[in-house]
């Protein structure tokens, strides 16, 4: 989740005691971070209309009851990409689809510990070399296909038909 500075300050200082009350309530839960900020936001008048109801993850749930996500595999790759979500879960540790995501979507070909190449990579891939071994202009930003997908998702989430109806009730 992404939190605004004003919400974080409110959560810390809690000028009307709501954040502390909710914190005491959630201290008895196993997964309290999954609900704490959502509860504070949706119950504070000044923040409840500032939410975007999406966690930016592609998740394939069991059906029913949507309590446990399926482990994603190569069969899910097209749906993951089509969702425009920048994150996905849940994967087995050595799932082959992760290698394919690294290679095809992130262009990470130099190994599992190599960075995802960016516009600052000034080298070439000649003879299998790492283009990021030569550093160019570190302030150069060139949005790729992933940025286009993320822009499409955010634009959709902020559209009139999706934004207000999905806010806290």
Check whether residue 66 and residue 135 sit in a common domain: yes
Q: What is the pLDDT of residue 111?
A: 65
Q: Does 135 lie in the same domain as 67?
A: yes
Which pLDDT score is estimated for 117?
77
Count of domains observed in the chain? 2
CA–CA dist 111, 128 (Å, integer):
11
In a domain, 16, yes or no: yes
**Cβ neighbours around 150 below 10 Å, total:** 15
Looking at the fold, whether 89 and 22 belong to one and the same domain comes out as no
Length of the chain: 169
Do 22 and 69 have their domain in common?
no
Between the CA atoms of 125, 128, 131 and 133, what dihedral angle is there, to the nearest 10 degrees? -150
Mean confidence (pLDDT) of the chain: 86
Average pLDDT on 42-59 reads: 88
Instruction: Please report whether residue 52 resides in a domain.
Output: no
Is 147 a member of any domain? yes
Question: Confidence class of residue 168 from pLDDT cuts 50, 70 and 90?
Answer: confident
Domain that holds residue 87: 57-163
Give the whole-number percent of the chain exceeding pLDDT 90: 38
Residue 118 within a domain: yes
Distance CA 119, CA 132 (A): 9
- If asked whether residues 75 and 158 sit together in one domain, one would say yes
- 82 and 39 in a common domain: no
C-alpha distance across the termini of the chain, in Å = 19
Distance CA 117, CA 115 (A): 6
Two tokens, residue 74: 């190569």
pLDDT band at 52 (very low <50, low <70, confident <90, very high): confident
Asked whether the predicted pLDDT for residue 75 surpasses 80, the reply is: yes
pLDDT tens digit string along 95-145? 999 999 988 888 776 666 777 777 778 888 788 777 888 888 888 777 888
In a 10 Å sphere around its CB, with 0-12 CB exposed, 13-18 middle and 19+ buried, how is residue 27 labelled?
A: exposed
Domain assignment present for residue 12? The answer is: yes
Number of alpha helices (DSSP H) and beta strands (DSSP E) in the chain: 7, 2
- pLDDT of 150 > 90? The answer is yes
The verdict on 20 and 64 lying in the same domain is no
Amino acid 120: pLDDT: 79
Q: Is residue 49 part of a domain?
A: no
Mean pLDDT of 8-35: 86
Statement to judge: residues 107 and 26 lie in one domain: no
Domain shared by 34 and 61, yes or no: no
Cα(112)–Cα(159) distance, integer angstroms: 37
Same-domain check for residues 91 and 155: yes
Answer for the pair 84, 54: CB distance below 8 angstroms, yes or no: no
> Are 28 and 80 contained in the same domain?
no
Would you say residue 77 lies in a domain? yes
Whether 15 is covered by a domain: the verdict is yes
Q: For residues 62 and 123, state if they share a domain.
A: yes
Question: How far are the Cα atoms of 1, 58, 80, 145, 158 from residue 155, in angstroms, in the given order?
Answer: 17, 17, 18, 15, 5
């Amino acid at each position: 989740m992404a939190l605004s500075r004003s919400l974080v300050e409110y959560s810390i200082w809690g000028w009307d005691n709501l954040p502390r009350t909710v914190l005491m309530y959630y201290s008895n839960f196993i997964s309290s971070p999954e609900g704490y900020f959502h509860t504070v936001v949706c119950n504070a008048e000044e923040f409840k209309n500032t939410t975007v109801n999406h966690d930016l993850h592609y998740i394939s749930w069991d059906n029913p009851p949507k309590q446990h996500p399926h482990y994603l595999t190569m069969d899910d790759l097209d749906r993951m990409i089509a969702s425009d979500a920048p994150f996905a879960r849940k994967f087995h540790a050595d799932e082959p689809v992760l290698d394919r995501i690294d290679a095809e979507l992130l262009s990470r070909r130099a190994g599992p510990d190599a960075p995802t190449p960016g516009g600052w990579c000034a080298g070439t891939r000649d003879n299998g070399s790492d283009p990021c071994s030569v550093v160019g202009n570190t302030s150069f930003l060139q949005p790729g296909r992933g940025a286009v997908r993320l822009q499409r998702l955010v634009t959709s989430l902020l559209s009139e038909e999706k934004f207000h109806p999905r806010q806290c009730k």
